[in-house]
Structure 1
């Protein structure tokens, strides 16, 4: 994303947050470091729909930006169900879109209850009504069948949710275990970069393990890898993966006490009496992904499933098997054909989903 485009999105976020309560602006500001501007703008759209619905329902008399925290605390599960019905029957949102908007709200309410604190160390919200609301169960269709075929992979908003979980939210699950919390704080940037890189490129485990610092080209957003058959290839990675890699490299040397001679991109914490730091092993990467996946609620998720996730998303949004084949390093195009499992209707939904993340609201 170029600077002008990014600045435009940030300006749009400022416009939207000016219409929202102060605590929503605070939440959005906190997420600036770990979420893309486009995703945050999409969140702001969702929040405006919700708070304007509260006003329309007479749940607060006044302006949207003045809705107090106790107005959220007094909401009942039935009122939230009414809001979800409003999305479905008045705005004609499908179940996937409703789940996405519910996810945005759950993330906000979780921040207000479990992260944000007042000056006297009390949570902003004591009661979180969103924790009582379940996501829509999606009827088993071709997309669900395809998910079973490919294994337990990430879909739609789960890409950013899982990345965000690794980067920040996991610490909430271990906040009462000082050892685990400290370990996460030590390795959060590294682990986020690993997950983000796989989700943003589809690299194999062995390819991630073998990366050196000199293999990363941030200007072209490519990494040099040795593929099967000892073939050298340059593979593109996403903008978000690039940002996460840069964040990691800013702390890599200091956090892991590395000598200049250590050229490995991903390294382990120092171990042994000599505090040796070495290249992160394949098993170590498998274990860290398993740890986060289990805590995230998708225990079947693995490094290979992250690769499947990238490929499924790429094909849904681009429908270009030859390019996907090259990106994944498949020797046979038949191997890549597994990702052609979307029907025409689902391709349309995938394209619509891309529009959902554009910088202008869709009047929903």
Structure 2
């Protein structure tokens, strides 16, 4: 009889199976690397490393004549000692534009290149610290300079208009309106929860019924990295959640999804992609609204919370950021607001 797993346990199992498949396309010594970093990384992080290292070793095989006749899985660990900093810098140049074996074109932004270099560095650092290689050229390759992008967030009136559209659904197509009558209460609860707490979509869909404590207005969620915490919600979120809870009690879920709070039309736990589509659908109904994703709702909450409290460390804690510098990006718009207010602060001539 199959064992029932929690949502997060099942995600980790699925990721572990995916990682095993990806490792088959990597040099065999990479298995030692992934075992070594397992205690300190999440399954999602290890999958990201596997994808990035796959691109790196495929580049080595296709662009370096010395290794063109060797299967990637047969590459020995000493290849890391033979590569130079120049080889890695040429790889970063290659990442800006390349065509993969399936004929698809690929480009990478500064952030994408930085992540792929970080993956190669992590691989090198692991074997260098274990004294299994003598050289660490990746450590002396400079990280790409990142140019900050404007943080997109919703203004107060845009938040209200978005929630109004979720509630009314008048601009939806007839086909969409048929579904809307069945999902309106759920959709309002999801959007209100995201806007009112700043939680990630993965944290939202992972919520079980028993995770919600209306007495103390808190929800137990699992953060990135696997640790659990309690986030607290306000009156508007409480009302939306209670309304959906009454509806949720009348739904009989598909076997294996009995604990899930947010259910799809198919009576299964909603996935991250479903919520992303949901946000995109309703955001498209608001006239002249910025391009909105669930992460932009998180940025909106982070910025608004900082405006109201002025406490960046509180915002970092509530959003689950380990580094307060990450949090500062969520209130970058505050600096712009201050600059705007300062435009008439200095008088050149008396009135």
CA offset digits 1:105-149 (Å, max 9, x no partner)? xxxxxxxxxxxxxxxxxxxxxxxxxxxxxxxxxxxxxxxxxx971
Where 2:222 maps in the other structure, the secondary structure is: strand
Give the counterpart of 2:253 among 240, 258, 269.
258
Give the counterpart of 1:301 among 289, 292, 305.
292
Q: CA deviation at 1:258?
A: 3.3
- Do structure 1's residue 286 and structure 2's residue 284 form an aligned pair? no
Where 1:234 maps in the other structure, the secondary structure is: strand
The aligned residue for residue 176 of structure 2 is: 180
The aligned residue for residue 151 of structure 2 is: 150
Q: Matched residues in 1 for 2:184 and 2:274: separation?
A: 14
Q: CA deviation at 1:257?
A: 3.7
The aligned residue for residue 163 of structure 2 is: 163
Where 1:182 maps in the other structure, the secondary structure is: helix
Q: CA deviation at 1:192?
A: 0.6
Change (3 A) 1:329 1:307: same
Alpha carbons 2:198, 2:319 under 8 Å: kept: yes
Q: CA deviation at 1:213?
A: 0.6
Greater relative contact order (CA < 8 Å, ≥ 6 in sequence): 1
Q: CA deviation at 1:180?
A: 1.5
Where do residues 11-26 of structure 1 align in structure 2 (5 Å cutoff)? none
Where do residues 45-60 of structure 1 align in structure 2 (5 Å cutoff)? none
TM-score by length of 2: 0.51
Q: CA deviation at 1:215?
A: 0.8
Q: CA deviation at 1:217?
A: 1.2
CA offset digits 1:262-288 (Å, max 9, x no partner)? 110100012xxxxxx210011100001
Give the counterpart of 1:311 among 285, 302, 308.
302
Change (3 A) 1:257 1:178: farther
Unaligned runs of 5+ in 1: 1-146, 271-276, 350-364
TM-score by length of 1: 0.49
Alpha carbons 1:192, 1:244 under 8 Å: kept: yes
Q: Matched residues in 2 for 1:347 and 1:246: separation?
A: 41
Change (3 A) 1:167 1:331: same
Where do residues 20-99 of structure 1 align in structure 2 (5 Å cutoff)? none
Q: CA deviation at 1:347?
A: 11
The aligned residue for residue 315 of structure 2 is: 324
Q: Matched residues in 1 for 2:213 and 2:338: separation?
A: 35
Where do residues 341-360 of structure 1 align in structure 2 (5 Å cutoff)? 341=332, 342-343=334-335, 346=338
Q: CA deviation at 1:331?
A: 0.8
Change (3 A) 1:348 1:320: farther
Q: CA deviation at 1:161?
A: 2.2
Q: Matched residues in 1 for 2:234 and 2:339: separation?
A: 21
Q: CA deviation at 1:299?
A: 5.6
Where 1:149 maps in the other structure, the secondary structure is: coil
Where 1:150 maps in the other structure, the secondary structure is: coil
Q: Matched residues in 2 for 1:348 and 1:217: separation?
A: 42
Q: Matched residues in 2 for 1:239 and 1:247: separation?
A: 12
- Do structure 1's residue 211 and structure 2's residue 212 form an aligned pair? no
Q: CA deviation at 1:220?
A: 1.6
Unaligned runs of 5+ in 2: 1-147, 342-351
Q: Matched residues in 2 for 1:225 and 1:179: separation?
A: 34
Give the counterpart of 1:268 among 260, 264, 267.
264
Change (3 A) 1:234 1:348: farther
CA offset digits 1:17-53 (Å, max 9, x no partner)? xxxxxxxxxxxxxxxxxxxxxxxxxxxxxxxxxxxxx
- Do structure 1's residue 249 and structure 2's residue 245 form an aligned pair? yes
What RMSD, in angstroms, separates the aligned Cα atoms of the two structures?
Answer: 2.5
